[in-house]
Structure 1
Amino acid sequence: MQTVDILLGGVPFGRNNVGDEAILECVVGIIREVCPAARITVSTDLPEDTAARLGVETVQLFGFDPPYSRTLMEERLAGADVFIWAGATGLSDYPEIPLKMLEIAHRAGTKTVVWGVGMNQNLNPFIYRVLPGKRRTLLNLLSLLAFKRVDFVRRLENMAMDRARAKIVEQLNLCDLVMLRDPETLAAVHACGDVPQAIVGADSAELLEPEPWENIALNREALHILESEVRKVGLCISAQRQLVHEQELIEFLDRLAGQDHRIVFLPMNHVTDAALMERLRERMKNRVHSVVVGGRRAPREILAIAGRLDLVISSRLHLLILASVVHVPIIGISRGSKVDNFLTAFGHTSAGSVDACDFEHMQNELDRLIDSREEFAEVSATVHELLLQRLDAAKAKLAELLNSL
């Protein structure tokens, strides 16, 4: 059978994000399942680790800072049989990067796949907002000269977002397969324009399996808590967008610790999230009843550790996904609509957002869920099965495409 050269990219792989690495591991597994003849190359910032862990070839991380070789990126996209934009929420978080990669691939005649990508209702405001500076000052002055009949800042921002939405529609319609993460992403894409061939699948991380517990290295403090019979509440707050009401969170955690719960800080980024978790723990009065699970952790390790918890609270989508895979009750804190979208399938609503966290709702959800894990497990098993069915349907389409080459 002829080898099919596949390039996986469009996501900042190798940047210490457990969620992205979980997606990558599962996408590699899917490709090997549906097309054993595939030769897989991953665009990553951790080439040696990725190659050793997944048994793939690697190339530098394309599209993201620090500077990369544009020439090499074009060569690799043109030389591949298939380019797969492999997940995450890039349609709204950083659309310009993977869309440019799709554009280069399309010009070269390379087959293209959008696989499990998500999209928030709104595009990333940090990309399309006119930031304070000379440009914004000038636009505000023009608005004043127009007697505020025209908001030139808003007009320029809207024009940039309209161009991005048009580019999304243009490039997705040129793809050979478009599988989106959830129905809400499909709706967000169709709000940009008609993409008739797009289908709804699921996040590939739903396929992840936990690492055997005996293979996980933990310090004595973490091991003692995780193997104890006391109630354990896992927590991860993304350092990308921290909670505005941080002191209220610390007081909430102290109350739980005072009620004989153990707080397990579970960073999804072992650098940025871990530093934030350490700082939060240090500010707790009852920090003796808490622990930060430190060190670089593979996705399978995080999944196994999550399985030891009684409940997970997170503003990181993929910790919620992984906890639900092992049927651990979840409470989400919204950081863009992706968290809300995921919780909808479970009949849950977020405990507010990182900008306005609702601690009363969080406490009510905790009281409701922590004593009814079996009930939650029934719901999560049903949701998980539905997501796997959607993934299976998408895998059939991917198999058809790859094996036709």
Structure 2
Amino acid sequence: MYKILISGYYGFNNIGDESILRAVVDNLRSRLADTEITVLSQDPVSTAEKYGVYSASRKSLLSILQEVKKCDLLISGGGSLLQDVTSKKSILYYLIIMWMAQLFRKKVFIYSQGIGPINANLNRRLTAWTLSKVSGIVVRDEASKEFLAEIGVNPAKVAVTADPVLRIKPVPLEIGQEILRKEGIQLREEGLIVGFAIRERKLDSQFVDELCLAIHQLVEEQQAQIVLIPFHYSEDLAVIEELEKRLGDQVSSIKHKYLTNEMLSIIGNMDLLVGVRLHALIHSAIMNVPMIGISYDPKINSFMKSMGMKALCSIYDFSSQDFIEEFNKTIRHKEVIQRRVQENMVSLVKSLDTNEEMIREIMKK
């Protein structure tokens, strides 16, 4: 029995990271025989129940040490773990777990991560030093590989694939339709249904002001039905409630937490998805729903580029007028966009096999 320990941002009700974990666990099981999987989680009981894995507290140093000592391989990822923009401390947390594994002479594997930005010089040096000693590195985009080369990691050691969530299969639309009914959202037969997955912590920002103008215009001029969708439940509810306060019955919103397949089906019922959250855009690609990406982080730009598209703008220069123009263009060219996305999906999903192929070679050694 080969024991694998997974470290990441799990157990926080962030549907993006939970989708990553679902994809990683499913693919390890389907492609690697005789493995036992343990996940470090904020909510070990829930994680164990959802994914059928062993789980230990990511907050307990003793639990982490015990699990590292028992494992044969530590997987770090996926997601954007090694960056110091959203938190100056979290990068050290993930590096320390890798150091523990290296101290006990365990193999360490970086699984389709997005790396950076890392601004602090010390964090850059520590990341380069740590990754130079791991058994394998797979990143989800070329920008991550270029960044690792910039801080001193040998590019020959780094493979490029895609975000693990892309390998999740589409799901039936009926699941989402039932959830929307339970949420009190009756989908109209006429007019476009537009989903918004918004990330914004500053509720009085110009972005929120312009977004309200854009939504108001969609409703008034195009009779669009607007559905607000929280991807990081605890973070996104605040901006959703702000939009509801300003726009009233012009918007509807998802109020409860849902699993990956349920969220996929909800998004599949949209005619278009406007996403600031990366995994909302990835869910759109899986369900073949046209998307408009708004960037708050380079990972949005990288993903849209991988789909043969560009992010409209960042949250810092969002304009309602530019958005409406992009919206109309996207609807006009809907079929072309869908074909382009699906063509790119084929090669990206195939590239993800690299993770398990490299892990299989590590297991043999």
Equivalent in the alignment of 2:132: 173
**Structure 1 contact 119–338 (Cα < 8 Å) conserved:** no
Measured on the aligned residues, the alpha-carbon RMSD in Å equals: 2.0
Equivalent residue in structure 2 for 1:208, among 145, 157, 168: 168
- Whether the 8 Å CA contact 1:47–1:59 is kept in 2: the answer is yes
Q: How is 1:46-61 mapped onto 2 (pairs within 5 angstroms)?
A: 46-61=43-58
CA deviation map 1:201-222 (0-9, x unaligned): 1110001234444445525375
Alignment-derived partner of residue 247 in structure 1: 209
SS for the counterpart of 1:361 is helix
Q: What stretches of structure 2 of length at least 5 have no aligned partner?
A: 85-89
TM-score relative to the length of structure 2: 0.91
Deviation at 1:194, TM superposition (A): 2.8
Which amino acid in the other structure matches residue 209 of structure 1? K
- AA aligned opposite 1:249: L
Measured against aligned partners, the alpha-carbon deviations of 1:72-113 in whole angstroms (never above 9, x if no partner) come to 212211221111012111121432221111111011111111
Pick closer, same or farther for the CA change 1:78–1:235 going to 2, 3 Å: same
Equivalent AA in structure 1 for residue 74 of structure 2: F
Q: Does 1:272 align with 2:224?
A: no
Report the AA paired with residue 115 of structure 1.
Y
* Secondary structure of residue in 2 paired with 1:84: strand
Report 1:1-400 matches (<5 A): 3-9=1-7, 11-61=8-58, 68-93=59-84, 94-120=90-116, 122-123=117-118, 161-195=120-154, 196-216=156-176, 217-218=178-179, 220=181, 224-226=185-187, 228-240=189-201, 243-258=205-220, 259-284=222-247, 287-400=248-361
CA change 1:53–1:227 in 2 (3 A) is: farther
CA contact (8 A) 2:112 2:163 kept: yes
Query: What is the TM-score when the length of structure 1 is the normalising length?
Result: 0.83
Taking a change above 3 Å as real, the CA distance of residues 314 and 215 of structure 1, as seen in their structure-2 partners, is closer
Structure 1 segments unaligned to the other structure (5+ residues): 62-67, 125-160
Match of 2:318, SS state, is coil
Partner of 2:87: none
User: In the aligned structure 2, how far is the partner of 1:88 from the partner of 1:276?
Assistant: 23
* Counterpart AA for 1:72: S
Task: Tell me whether 104-113 or 390-399 shows the greater mean CA deviation.
Answer: 390-399
Which amino acid counterpart does residue 6 of structure 2 have in structure 1? L
Q: Which deviates further from its counterpart, 70-79 or 48-57?
A: 70-79
Q: What's the secondary structure of 1:267's corresponding residue?
A: coil
Give 1:131's aligned residue.
none
Between Structure 1 and Structure 2, the one with more strand by share is 2
8 A contact 1:115–1:179 mirrored in 2: yes
Rate the CA distance shift 1:251–1:272 in 2: closer, same or farther, 3 A. same
Distance in 1 (CA, whole Å) between partners of 2:95 and 2:126 is 7
Which secondary structure state, in structure 1, belongs to the residue aligned with residue 227 of structure 2? strand
Shift of 1:272: 2.4
Return the offset for 1:324. Answer: 1.2
The alpha carbon displacement at 1:223 in A equals 6.3
> Could you tell me how far 1:274 is from its partner in structure 2?
2.2
Classify 1:340/1:104 alpha carbon distance in 2 versus 1 (closer, same or farther; 3 Å): same
* Alpha-carbon spacing, 1:312–1:214, altered in 2? closer, same or farther (3 Å): closer
Q: Secondary structure at the match of 1:87?
A: strand
Residue identity opposite 2:151 in structure 1: C
